[in-house]
Copies of this chain bind each other. A is one copy, B any other.
């Protein structure tokens, strides 16, 4: 490699114009070669490709996107990517997008519905080809309004906006079935005073979990002695709600942590008070957190394949982007895994 080559191939972004000049062909011919147009002579092809190599040319995606009207990029809106639950969804989605030549841009809405709206606008201005949304709130009017005003394909991930049903795809987990199984398990063990440490009901999974708790009690023909403690889906709320539960008279005999972050806070509080599980209190979590199955004792959980959730969401979005049919809804299973954190309620 001589010095000329080394100079040419380094650091500067060459334009198609320069490639055309070097190859002594028209710029449109370069374009044809690179987009594999059938009608190009082998000689020209070779000349162009040589120039491309020599200049280390890479087509400008921006210019291509502007011209073609597609960016091959999608936006993923999530409340908090540092939550392992969302991170695995993102991972599943990204692998599907990547395989299809799409890139995924990420924005955290930090559980703030007004950021939901801001970021959706942002993505639209950036002309993403589609949007994967795990909204901070699927009940906020501003968000629903913003969504109804835009035309990009949308997939809601574990969220529901009934007024948009005909325009957006949905991928949800069947939280209700999983939580019902968990509650039935607790009821069968003899628990009656069951506390659900819950998020606020402005996202679908929270609403479903609350409904499932009530449903299971009603279905069992029992009087409702359950308790729902609402608050943000944070470890802080998990911790303080657990404190509340522990101070109640009579004290609930089982806690369902309605989210993985809530569980972390809950465990912190239980440890501080040296509550024995399951002798003093039974515990179930909704969504795992790393090590929850290796905890002492292993913690029963309502769980699901979140990587798959991400993959399916991405697939539905690509289908919409490529105009392969109308919006669809998918419901993926959840499963209740009984583990030693559930036992009989303490006597008395």
- Residue pair A126, B81 in contact (C-beta under 8 Å): no
- Residue pair B90, A106 in contact (C-beta under 8 Å): yes
User: B-facing mask of A86-123, CB < 8 A → 1, else 0?
Assistant: 01101100110010000111111000000000000110
**If A90-B106, A105-B73, A295-B295 touch, does A66 touch B58 (CB 8 Å cutoff)?**
no
Say how many copies of this protein the assembly contains: 2
- Residue pair A105, B106 in contact (C-beta under 8 Å): yes
**Quick one: which of A13, A59, A82, A95 has the most chain B CB within 10 A?**
A82
Query: Which B residues lie within 8 Å of A88 (CB)?
Result: 82
Least CB separation from A89: chain B residue: B82
User: Which residues of chain A have a CB within 8 Å of any CB of chain B?
Assistant: 9-13, 56, 58-63, 65-66, 71, 73, 80-84, 87-88, 90-91, 94-95, 98, 103-108, 121-122, 124-127, 148-151, 264, 267-268, 271, 289-292, 294-296, 307
- Residue pair B107, A105 in contact (C-beta under 8 Å): no
Shortest beta-carbon distance from A144 to chain B in Å? 14
The interface residues of chain A, by DSSP majority, are classed as mixed
**If A290-B289, A291-B290, A296-B296 touch, does A81 touch B62 (CB 8 Å cutoff)?**
no
- Residue pair A87, B98 in contact (C-beta under 8 Å): no
Some 18 contacts from A to B, beta carbons below 8 A apart, are A10-B148, A58-B125, A62-B65, A62-B71, A62-B127, A63-B66, A73-B105, A81-B90, A82-B84, A82-B91, A83-B87, A84-B84, A87-B87, A98-B107, A103-B122, A290-B290, A291-B291, A291-B295
Alpha-carbon distance between A292 and B103 when the two chains are bound, in angstroms:
33
Given contacts A62-B62, A98-B107, 20 further A-B contacts (CB under 8 A): A12-B151, A13-B151, A56-B149, A59-B125, A60-B125, A61-B126, A73-B126, A81-B81, A82-B307, A83-B87, A87-B87, A94-B106, A95-B108, A98-B108, A103-B122, A106-B106, A264-B291, A264-B294, A295-B296, A296-B296
Query: Which B residues lie within 8 Å of A294 (CB)?
Result: 264, 267-268, 271, 295
Partner of A127, one of B61, B90, B94, B292: B61
